[in-house]
Structure 1
Amino acid sequence: MLKTSEFQKAIESVENLPLDDQEILLDIIQKRLQEKRRKKLAEEIKEIRQEFANGDVQFGSVNQFLEALDQE
């Protein structure tokens, strides 16, 4: 409940800003979220490349994948 309260306080703080400031804040938050998504994607790509380099990646058709699941 404390988390919701802090979240509500943040929303109220933003709502108390002038409209121009709210728009600037929204733009900043959107850009930061985009950057976080880019970094996360880059990390995932790095992990996948490492798995591929280690030979931990297998290729095949969907049917082969389903057959392998059935064997487990």
Structure 2
Amino acid sequence: MLKNSTFQQAIETVEALSLEEQAMLLEIIQNRLREDKRQELLENIKQSEQDYAEGNVKRGSVSDLMKDLEQCEN
């Protein structure tokens, strides 16, 4: 099923690397993933700040949230 897929080819390419090269590749990928997650978090924060500045944020208790969700379902 995955035999001819790009993903499978990537795995085979990585397996062909030395252990040192695999470790370096893993570190690079982990660093990039961390940076991507940071960037996504920053974008979410910016959007939240914009929503707050525009008055699109609602405050309330969990009960208020549950009532709003029930109203959306109906």
TM-score by length of 2: 0.88
How far does residue 33 in structure 1 lie from its aligned partner after superposition? 0.4
Q: CA RMSD in A?
A: 1.6
Runs of 4+ aligned structure 1 residues displaced above 4 Å come to: none
More helix by share: 1
- Give the 3 Å change call, closer, same or farther, for CA 5–71 of structure 1 in structure 2: closer
Return 5+ residue gaps in structure 1 as ranges. none
Provide the aligned length of Structure 1 versus Structure 2: 71
How far does residue 66 in structure 1 lie from its aligned partner after superposition? 1.2
Equivalent position of 1:53 in the other structure: 53
* Counterpart check, 1:21 vs 2:21: yes
How far does residue 71 in structure 1 lie from its aligned partner after superposition? 2.9
* Counterpart check, 1:36 vs 2:30: no
State which drifts further: 60-69 or 15-24.
60-69
How far does residue 67 in structure 1 lie from its aligned partner after superposition? 1.5
Return 5+ residue gaps in structure 2 as ranges. none
% identical equivalent positions? 49
Task: Kindly provide the CA deviation profile for residues 11-49 of structure 1, in whole angstroms up to 9, marking residues without a partner as x.
Answer: 000000000000000000000000000000000000000
